[in-house]
Amino acid sequence: MTSPESLPRSTSYKSKTLATWIAIVGGSLGLHRFYLHGLRDLPGWLHPLPALVGLYGVQRARLLGQDDHLAWVLMPLLGCTIVAGMLSAIVYGLTSDERWHARFNGSRPGPNSGWGAVLGAMLALLVGGAVLMATIAFAGQRYFEYQVESEAAAVSQPARSLAPPPTVAAY
């Protein structure tokens, strides 16, 4: 029986530039993980679920309007998965070529990544920052709107006295 360490590593070349751009385009679905680690990568399979649940929240908001509380909870999940993909693209794009080849190409020297990976990291920083700020703003706004609605509902209820109700004496 062979141990996993004795099995040969994948001989396919993993491009840093391609990994960066896959993370930008499909990072929220974990496509960059599948490119780098194969289809058996468990963290790669954990990416699509929150992205699809967040997308379901967006669809609920479009169908039911902005007052749907479940959509408020689900939509930030989509923003978080997009931000996670952009963060992966930034890390990939700014990793040195030597470290990249040592980690993913078995220390075989490969071509330098050039400007493609750096430009991808810059785009990921722009998109990721915008999506992160929008997600925080949306979630915060909806949370405080919900708090105001709850307080308004509590104020509009008739006041309850702690004293027992008056009794009517029978004469």
Give pLDDT tens digits for 22-38.
999 999 999 999 999 99
| pLDDT number for residue 105 | 87
Q: How far apart, in whole angstroms, are the C-alpha atoms of residue 39 and residue 45?
A: 8
- Amino acid (1-letter code) at residue 125: L
Q: Are 110 and 13 in contact (CB under 8 A)?
A: yes
Instruction: Please state the pTM of the whole predicted model.
Output: 0.77
Closest C-alpha among 117, 135, 138, 121 to residue 81 = 135
Give strand ranges (E) for the chain.
none
Q: How far apart, in whole angstroms, are the C-alpha atoms of residue 35 and residue 23?
A: 10
| pLDDT number for residue 164 | 64
The domain ranges of the chain are 16-105+113-152
| pLDDT number for residue 59 | 94
